[in-house]
Amino acid sequence: MASLPDIDRLSLAEQVAQMVVVRASGYLFDHQIQYPEWEPPAANLQQWVENLGVGGVILLGGSAGEIALRSQQLQSWAKIPLLIAADIEEGVGQRFSGATWFPPPMALSAIARKNPSLAQEYAQQMGASTAQEALAIGINWVLAPVVDVNNNPANPVINVRAFGETPAEVSQLATAFIQGAQRHPVLTTAKHFPGHGDTAVDSHLELPVLPHSAERLAEIELPPFDAAIRASVDSVMSAHLLIPAWDAERPATLSPAILTGQLREKLGFEGLIVTDALVMGAIANRYGANEAPVMAVEAGADILLMPVDPPGAIQAVCDAVAAGRISPERIRASVERIWKAKLKVFSLSDSGEVKETQPSPNSLNLLAQPLALETAANILRHAQLIHGSVPLPPEEAPTPNHKLRNLIVVDNALGCDFLGRQTPAVALPKQRGYQLQLLDRNSPSTLAAEDSENFSSTLLQLFIRGNPFRGSAGLTPVAQDLFKKLLKTGELKALVIYGSPYLLQQFIPELPTEVPCVFSYGQMPAAQAIALEVLFS
């Protein structure tokens, strides 16, 4: 049985390994791996967990049921129990099918402007359901909430992941999420320190610069982190940002002035400082696979998330200790914080061994419970926006001279986990005689225009929101071009937008009042059903 040994019994390499969290596929078999550049085959992963003794794993991909098995497998390999993390900002179902998928956090700010107490109630229930469902499948570290203030509509990486556009909105709703999650023994994470909301560059690809003064940072970016810390958030994740007002040379993730000086000393944060993924371009492309982890530890990080080369990162940090760059006491301080975090999520027996932590088959009954599904649906309904007259009048039956088109535009049809033959955006229009046409960024730009003459009416459904690593910036002009052509020909029957409210703001001024439009923050099937219910009822 795994245990938490006395830190003094661990070698330096074993202590450093506890500071490393590696990425792994949530799928059980190597042939299912979707991101081979980041997700190791099973033999490597087992070596890292069993022999290197890494402290944690972050999972992506697979169903909730598969994750329950995967987490059992990982914990069975580990001599010291693992922190198992996931980016589940929108509920467990966002990443792992079968569980509850909540709308993006920004939906709650739309509700808060009308009914602040209701929005906070929803945020708290969202946090509680996310934590409960995470534990049910073996995840004990929730990498949420996002506490960035998204005051830049062009932000490609935060966008609707934020709880709002003002420090007050974000502070109140993120705090409520944390309080809800605290009903269960999971770790929570405020990210991305000191604030990634006012950027127009994706740090997954390049290093953004936040040019603001220290006074402006204190006014806008820092209050939500301060609120999260006061709410006893367990960890804070760094942002890969250059902030000249605090450090003109090193990004926040690698800056002692920021992680230690600002977060640890000025804000008084005593929990875990975790880096954002070190494989991201903003860090990996500039500082190298093994130097970046050393610099992050020097800066004050306790957890090295997704280093490019985990064994190399462990050795590099050990070499830095041997060379006098990092003190042994600095490593021990991080491990002590990690032990404290693990003691929160693992119960110990009288003999000091970790009690059974694996999810049981009955734990899956805690997924997608009525309260969680109802809360997600209520958030969608109360945040939904309607323009023009709904519902649509009854459509005359399709004929050879009167064809109906359901034109769906998505970023990438091959990676679209919210669309399928039976999902509402496809199935409900089909029941009414609409013929499906699906376009993405890989489609010929002239395809929809060439087919327009074959249809009399078009339902245009746009799935566009910020997506890390690629954004959707290139898709918006395509959608706007389609929209204008359909308006010009009089073919546009109705418009439904799923995702970014900033996109809606670009379309509404040109939309005639007689053309109905429904906007939903969510893109998941539940959001589609609720939006189309309004349109077709």
Catalytic residue among 198, 276, 302, 411: 276
Exposure b/e, 482-494, CB count within 10 A at least 16 = b: bbeebbeeebbbb
| Beta strand extents in 163-311 (DSSP E only) | 189-193, 235-238, 272-274, 304-305
Whole-angstrom CA distances from 290 to 47, 307, 311, 312, 326 are 19, 8, 9, 6, 14
Active site residue 276: yes
Active site residue 350: no
Q: What angle do CA 416, 527, 493 make, to 5 degrees?
A: 90
In contact, 246 and 279? CB cutoff 8 Å: no
490: CB partners within 8 A, 6+ apart: none
Whole-angstrom CA distances from 513 to 35, 181, 487 are 45, 43, 12
CA dihedral 84, 225, 216, 166 (to 10 degrees): 100
DSSP tag of 262? I
For helices 370-383 and 116-136, the axis angle rounded to 10 degrees is 140
Q: What is the DSSP string of 54-78?
A: -SEEEEESSBHHHHHHHHHHHHHH-
Catalytic residue among 204, 234, 240, 302: 204
Of all helices (H) and strands (E), which one includes residue 461? strand 457-464
Exposure b/e, 440-464, CB count within 10 A at least 16 = b: beeeeeeebeeebeebbbbbbbbbb
CB atoms within 10 A of CB 281: 15
d(CA 197, CA 99): 28
Structure tokens at 45: 């992963």
How close are the terminal C-alpha atoms of the chain, in Å? 57
**300 — alpha (psi -120 to 50), left (phi > 0) or beta?**
left
Task: Decide: residue 50, CB within 10 A, 0-12 exposed, 13-18 middle, 19+ buried.
Answer: middle
For the four alpha carbons of 10, 14, 19 and 22, in that order, the dihedral sign comes to: negative
Supply the residues annotated as catalytic.
204, 276
